[in-house]
Amino acid sequence: MNQLEAVVGGATIPTAAPSKRRPWRLLGHIAASVSVDVVLLAAFAHAGIVSAVVPVLYALVTGCSILVFYILLRSDWSQRRRDPALTRSQLLVSSLTVMGFSLYCEPLAFYFLMLLFMAFSFAALRLRLKQMLTSFVLVMLVGTIDRLWLGTHLEIPGATPTEQLLGWLAFASVLLRCCMIGWYGNRLRRTLHQRNRELADASQQIQYLALHDSLTGTLRRTPVWNLIERQCGLNIFSVAMLDLDHFKQINDRYGHAIGDDVLRRFAETVRDVIRPGDVVGRYGGEEFLLLLPGANADAALAITDRVRRAVARHDWARLAEGLCVTVSIGIAGAALGESARSMVDRADQALYAAKRHGRNRVLLYRSPTQFEGPAGDSVGE
């Protein structure tokens, strides 16, 4: 499993290795197609339409060209080319081969020229439109010289029922192979679509993991910090710092697995209580930041006290017998021209004041020595 698979939970992402092997598999398909041609040519030779030399010579010429391309594709030389699969070269060699045999074996010229359909169909899987058109023009020029200047004729054997049957089989074999090439191209498109979808899903998951804490599902520290900085100087808002009381003791007594469950349940409880536009992020360890857009001091006290009461009422004993979890919360309201750092520091001071005065409580920062609770009670330092 590569690093990307590990990050996104095993999503399969295409790598360079399959693309390097694919040209060899295409050569295997081409060799299988050539074998069909050799069998048909042998049948034509057996029927007396062409010489027995034709299938042997065709097998030797095409076999040698396949072997040469196989060696080139296995070498590093082809990988340094703009087209590592040597598709255009294979197309030209294949086209010249079948056109040469159409000259050499006029009774089967129609069959050899039909093979151009397969050659161009294979090439269309890899070549760009400009490359295809230039190759087409070149092959057509050669064909024009062949037909007009040399005066060769296109013939379709059909004098006897055997010749008609073989001619039909030849046509059917070419049509079937063109259909198979089309199916192969469609399979490649489906595979590419699937890989693109997997890549998009992996990209979304990576983006999610970059912004969210994997344990609690809340925002990470940096994204929530950026949101606070963006709010500074724009609107009325408040920031709250939340810290689970005696969390180290929970880990020591019940184990880190239960501690992780506590953090997850705590984050879920907070999300259930806060308003739709509020944002919660994990600040570090058992500390969380809560951004409350549009909330003045009174609203922030009311919201965070609901959070505190919801956490205290939660059935923590379902995780472990005797487990009890509470949270202390410090709040800071936005001040004109204040930075995010200063605002979070004030919320942190209010948090530690809440811890010093009994925990499981909410305090709002009023001054370095004065803090206020939800009921309007003041706490001095």
Catalytically active residues, by annotation: 286
Residues 111, 112, 116: CA angle, nearest 5 degrees = 110
Catalogue the long-range contacts made by 150-158 (C-beta closer than 8 Å, 24 or more residues apart): 150/103, 152/102, 152/103, 152/106, 152/109, 153/106, 153/109, 154/109, 154/110, 154/113, 155/106, 155/107, 155/108, 155/109, 155/110, 156/110, 157/44, 157/49, 157/107, 157/108
| Cβ-based neighbours of 355, under 8 Å, separated by 6 or more | 243, 245, 328
Sign of CA dihedral 219, 324, 248, 327: positive
Parallel, antiparallel or unpaired: strands 362-367 and 327-333: parallel
Q: Which residue from 199, 155, 163 is spatially nearest to 11, judged by alpha carbons? A: 199
* Phi, psi for residue 274 in degrees, rounded to 5: -70, 170
Answer whether 155's CB lies under 8 Å from 107's CB.
Answer: yes
